[in-house]
Structure 1
Amino acid sequence: MEIKVDIDSPEPLFAQLIEQIKDAVKDGYLKPGDALPSIRQLANDLELNNKTVAKAYRLLERDSVIQTKGYRGTFIHPAALENSKTDMSAWVLEQITATVTACRTEGATDSEIRIAFGHAMQAHGGG
């Protein structure tokens, strides 16, 4: 499997990595237990910042597509195929869209929605 990123794409680089790894799992190129390159190695191979690859790996691990086994490395998660079918960004957008629609239906202004969203993020540890 070869990973390529397009620095001219409007899609963030970390999101491109996530999508390609999930696609490789769904297409059968990566199977449970397969090893992935280290963050440093992949960053060097793709000429990216380590933090970009680390963010992609962190989100893939959150979604149980990959798992890190300490110094032994990073591997494809046993449940990766099923978990690769979930698009967290799409889910979040769906939830927020429904909430914004409900607020507008009740007459809330965009300014009121933005302010409330900011307060909710702060109240729950967001920034």
Structure 2
Amino acid sequence: MEITIDIEDPMPLFTQLVEQIKSAVINSKIKPGDSLPSIRQLANDLELNSKTVAKAYKLLERDLVIQSKGYRGTFVHPHAIVNSKVDLNAEVLAQLNNAISACKTAGVTDSEIRIAFSSAMNSNNN
């Protein structure tokens, strides 16, 4: 599996990494059960901050594309192929669009929606 990061790309570096690993899974360049480099090793190989790689790995683990087995390492999840095809961002965007449409139908202004969204985000971060 070859990963290339483009620092000129407006897409965040961790997102580039997530997308490339998912693509490698979908295209069978890496298979369920295969081991992945450690966060430190991949960060060194790609000349990235280890926190960037850790964030990508955390998202991939959340999406059940990879799984950490403690000191034994990180591996491609048994259901990674199916899980790599799920786009949580698209799902969240669809839900937000539905909520915004419902608010606008009820006569809520864009400004009120923004304020409510910000308030909801702040109350859920605590």
With normalisation by structure 2, the TM-score equals 0.95
- In structure 2, the partner of 1:3 is 3
- In structure 2, the partner of 1:109 is 109
SS of equivalent to 1:90: helix
Counterpart residue type for residue 69 of structure 1: K
SS of equivalent to 1:2: coil
Whole-Å Cα distance in 2 between the matches of residues 122 and 16 of structure 1? 27
**RMSD, aligned CA:** 1.1
5 Å matches for 1:43-62?
43-62=43-62
Whole-Å Cα distance in 2 between the matches of residues 41 and 99 of structure 1? 42
5 Å matches for 1:7-22?
7-22=7-22
- In structure 2, the partner of 1:67 is 67
Counterpart residue type for residue 34 of structure 1: D
SS of equivalent to 2:107: coil
Q: Show CA shifts across 1:94-121 (max 9, x none).
A: 1111111211121111111111112222
Q: Show CA shifts across 1:6-63 (max 9, x none).
A: 1111111111111100011100111111000000111111111111100000000000
Deviation at 1:123, TM superposition (A): 2.7
Whole-Å Cα distance in 1 between the matches of residues 21 and 87 of structure 2? 13
Whole-Å Cα distance in 1 between the matches of residues 82 and 70 of structure 2? 24
Counterpart residue type for residue 30 of structure 1: I
What are structure 1's unaligned runs of at least 5 residues? Answer: none
With normalisation by structure 1, the TM-score equals 0.94
Counterpart residue type for residue 95 of structure 1: Q
Deviation at 1:122, TM superposition (A): 2.6
Greater shift in the superposed pair: 56-65 or 115-124: 115-124
Whole-Å Cα distance in 2 between the matches of residues 70 and 109 of structure 1? 49
What are structure 2's unaligned runs of at least 5 residues? Answer: none
Identical-residue share of aligned pairs (%): 66
